[in-house]
Structure 1
Amino acid sequence: MPGLSLWLSPPPSHPLTSALTSLIASLSDELSSTAETNPHFLPHITITSNIPPTIDPEVIVAFAAALFSSSSSTTSTSLDVNLTSVDFGPAYFKKIFFRVERSAGLLYLASKVRHSFVPGYALIPGSAEIWTGNEYDPHLSLVYMADWPLSQETMNRAIDKANLSIATASISSWSGGRIALYETQGSADKWKCLAYRDL
C-alpha cells in the first residue's frame, strides 16, 4: 500500500481483539504454502491509505481522535463498527475478510481524514465525500495471500472458523477503538506503527 495508512482496531481489551488476532494467525498459517508464508497482522479496518510520509504521524492520529472526543463540536456521531459477513476476493489484501457495516461514524472519519491528509482532495470540494460514497469499502481482512481462486472447501472452512471466533468473543461489534498510523511500504510483516490514540 502506498504511503502511510490509518487503521481503526478494536480496543486492546475488547474480546474481539484476541479472538480476531488468533483467527488471523490461524488462517494465515493454515493457508500458507511452501512457496509463500502468509504474514500475521493485527485486526484492523483501513480508514485510508496514500497519506504522505512527510506529515507528522502525531498530527494525523490526534486529528482523527479529536473528531470523536467528548469536547468536539463538529459531530455528535459515534464511531461504531459492526462486522457483518465473511467474504472473499482476488485482491492480495482482501482475500478473506469480514465485511463491515458502513456506519455514519466510520464514513465520517474516512471522509475527514482523506480530505485533510491525502494529496489533492482538499483542492476539490466534495471529492472526499464522493470517494467515501463510491469507492471506500470498509472491511477487516483475515488473510493476505496471492492464491486465487480459493476452493469451496477453503472458503467453507474460513467461514466456520470466523463464525466460531465471533461466537467465542460473544460479540461482533465495538465502539471507538484504537486509531493508529502505519507505515505500510514493503511486506506486511515489516509494517510498523508510527503513532496511535485510544478513543
Structure 2
Amino acid sequence: MALGVALWLCPKKNTQLYDKLLTLMSSLNTLFPNQPPKFEPHITITTNVDVNLVDSEKTRDDVNKILSASVVALNSLPTNHSNLVTLGKIDSQRKYFKKLYFQVKKDPNLVSLARIIREIFVITPQEIEAENIKINPHLYTTNSKGNTVRRKPSKKHKRSASSASTAQSSTVDIDERTKPIEMQKVQAIAAAKAAEWSSSEFDPHISLVYSDLHPIDNALWRTIKTRVSDYLNVANCDAEGLEDNGLGWDGGVLKLVLCEGDVNDWIVLGSVDLH
C-alpha cells in the first residue's frame, strides 16, 4: 500500500494520554512475533499528500504551506465539541497497518478537516496532472517502466542570457501548443471526490500494532484486552460505549510524515502544534 506523505494528528507529547498510549503500544508489541515496528500514536488524516521531495527548498515550502493551511482549516470550523478525537472500541483487521487499533469517533470537524486537506493537497494535484496529460500530451513522455512522466526542460531553455532570444522563441512555441487547464472544472471534480471519500473511505483510527499476524486467536485477544483495560483503566475495551469514557484529546500536533520504506525509517518532514 503506497502511503507517500501522510498528514498525522497526534496527541501532544508528555500528556497523560500520549504517555499511556505509548506505554500500551510498547506492551502490546511484545505479544506479536517478529518485533513489530515502533511508531508514534496518531490518526492519519490523509495519505499521498502532494509534496515536492526532489528539491529540498521546495519540500520545506510545501510542508509549511500544507501545515499552515491545515491549521487555518481547523480554526475555521465551529468549536462545538469537547474533544476533536475520541477513542472508541478496540478492533482488528487483516491489513498490516490496521492489525490492532482503536476506532475513533467521526467527529464532524475531524471529517471536515480530512475532506478539506484531501481535496486541496491530494485530489486537486492529481486531477490537474490527469487533465494536463489529456490536453497537453506533448509535455509528457513514457519512461523505461512504462509510466507517464513529465518531460525534462529542453536544453534550449537552459542556455545563457546570450542566447535568450533563441530560448524565448522556443518558449513561445511551447506556450502556443500548451492549452490552459480549466481550474473551475478541476476544483469541482476534486470537491466531489473529496466529499465522497470523507463519507465512504475516511476511517479515523489509532493503530496500536502493525503486524502480518492473522488471525489473532482467542487467547491472544484475551491478553490484549486485559492489557488495554489495565493500562487505560477501562472496564470493557471492546464495548461500543468506550467513547463514554472520555478518552481522547482536543488540539494536538499535526505532522507531515514521509511513509516510505521500513516503518522505522519514516521521516517527519514538519510539524505544528494546535492550540
TM-score (norm 2): 0.65
Which of 46, 49, 60 is equivalent to 1:51?
A: 49
3-state SS, counterpart of residue 3 of structure 2: coil
Q: Aligned partners of 1:165, 1:123: CA distance in 2, in Å?
A: 46
Contact 1:16 1:171 in 2 (8 A): no
3-state SS, counterpart of residue 51 of structure 2: coil
Q: CA offsets per residue over residues 78-116 of structure 1, 9 Å max, x none?
A: 561100100011000000100000001110110010001
Q: Name whichever structure is richer in helix by fraction.
A: 2
1:189 maps to 264
2:77 maps to 75
Q: CA offsets per residue over residues 1-27 of structure 1, 9 Å max, x none?
A: 431000001122321101101111111
The Cα of 1:122 is off from its aligned counterpart by 4.0
Provide structure 2 residue ranges, at least 5 long, that are not aligned to the other structure: 53-58, 128-185, 235-244
Counterpart amino acid of 2:270? A
The Cα of 1:30 is off from its aligned counterpart by 2.6
Structure label with greater radius of gyration? 2
Q: 1:21 to 1:122 in 2, by over 3 A?
A: farther
Percent identical pairs in the alignment equals 30
2:221 maps to 155
Counterpart amino acid of 1:149? P
2:113 maps to 109
2:230 maps to 164
Q: Name whichever structure is richer in strand by fraction.
A: 1
3-state SS, counterpart of residue 89 of structure 2: strand
1:98 maps to 102
Counterpart amino acid of 1:87? D
2:15 maps to 14
Counterpart amino acid of 1:94? K
3-state SS, counterpart of residue 85 of structure 2: strand
The Cα of 1:123 is off from its aligned counterpart by 5.3
Contact 2:87 2:247 in 1 (8 A): yes
3-state SS, counterpart of residue 90 of structure 2: strand
Runs (4 or more) in structure 1 with deviation over 4 Å come to none
RMSD (Å) for aligned C-alpha atoms: 1.9
Q: CA offsets per residue over residues 7-63 of structure 1, 9 Å max, x none?
A: 0011223211011011111111331x3xx2200100000000011331611111111
Q: Aligned partners of 2:251, 2:218: CA distance in 1, in Å?
A: 35
**Equivalences for 1:172-183 in 2 at 5 Å?**
172-183=247-258
1:128 maps to 194
Q: Aligned partners of 1:158, 1:175: CA distance in 2, in Å?
A: 27
Q: Aligned partners of 1:122, 1:27: CA distance in 2, in Å?
A: 44
Segment drifting more, 98-107 vs 20-29? 20-29
2:211 maps to 145
Counterpart amino acid of 1:12? K
Q: Aligned partners of 2:187, 2:222: CA distance in 1, in Å?
A: 43
Which of 64, 68, 86 is equivalent to 2:70?
A: 64
Q: CA offsets per residue over residues 138-165 of structure 1, 9 Å max, x none?
A: 1000000001111111112112222222
2:150 maps to none
